[in-house]
Amino acid sequence: MRDTGEDSVALRTSRGELRALRRADGQVNVNMGTPQLDWRDVPLARDVDLLHLPLDGDPVAVGMGNPHCVFIVADAEAVDVAGLGRKVEHDPLYPQRTNVEFISVCGPDRLRMRVWERGTGITLACGSGACAAAVAANLRGLTGRRVTLQLDGGVLEVDWREDGIWMAGPVEHVFDGWLTPAFVAAHQ
C-alpha cells in the first residue's frame, strides 16, 4: 500500500487471497480467512475433539492455513513458553508441527497471549495465532467473537465475522529480505 498509494491490497497465500485494507487511523485490517475446524484441515494425525485435545493442559486445535495449539491458562505471564512450546511443537499429534499459543482471559473481550512459533521459537506476535486464540476462546464460551489481544509486541483486534476472521493492528517494517534466483527456481 505504501508503494502503490492504494488503501487496499490482496495478498496471495497458499490458502488463497487475503484482503488487507488501510484504516483511517493508520492500522490495517486483514481478512485472515475462515478457521479450519476439522482435524484433517488443521492438520492433526488423527480424529480427536479439537476443543479438548488429548494433551496435558487441555488445549484447543485450530487451523488458520497453519496449525495452532491454544492453551487457555490462568496467567500467560507465568507460563514456560520456551519449554512447553518446544515440546508441543513436536508432539506427534501435529504431523506438520504446530504453533503454540498461551492465552489468559482478561475480560469478555480481552485476551493476553504469548506465542511459540514452529521453527522459530518465542516471537513478539503472531497474526494467525491471534486469530486461532480468539476462535479457541470463543468456542470454549469464554469470549465473544470480537476480542482485543495483548501480545508481547503490541495489541491486535480480532473480529470473527461471517466472511472470515478480520484482524486489525499496526504495521511495522521489521526487515528486508532477498531471495536468490536459485531459491525462487526451486520453489516454483
15-61: pLDDT as tens digits: 788 889 999 898 999 999 999 999 999 999 999 999 999 999 999 99
Residue 9, domain member (yes or no): no
How high is the pLDDT of residue 15?
78
Give the tens place of pLDDT for each residue, 127-146. 999 999 999 999 999 999 99
Cis peptide preceding 59, ω within 30 of 0: no
Residue 173, domain member (yes or no): no
d(CA 69, CA 33): 18
Number of structural domains found in the chain: 1
Are 81 and 152 in contact, with CB atoms under 8 Å apart? no
**Which residue do the cell numbers 485435545 mark?**
53
Give me the domain span that covers residue 127.
33-168
Give the tens place of pLDDT for each residue, 75-126. 999 999 999 999 999 999 999 999 999 999 999 999 999 999 999 999 999 9
Are 28 and 19 in contact, with CB atoms under 8 Å apart? no
Confidence bin at 11 (pLDDT 50/70/90):
confident
How high is the pLDDT of residue 26?
86
Residue 184, domain member (yes or no): no
pTM of the model: 0.90
Which CATH number characterizes residue 41's domain?
Answer: 3.10.310.10
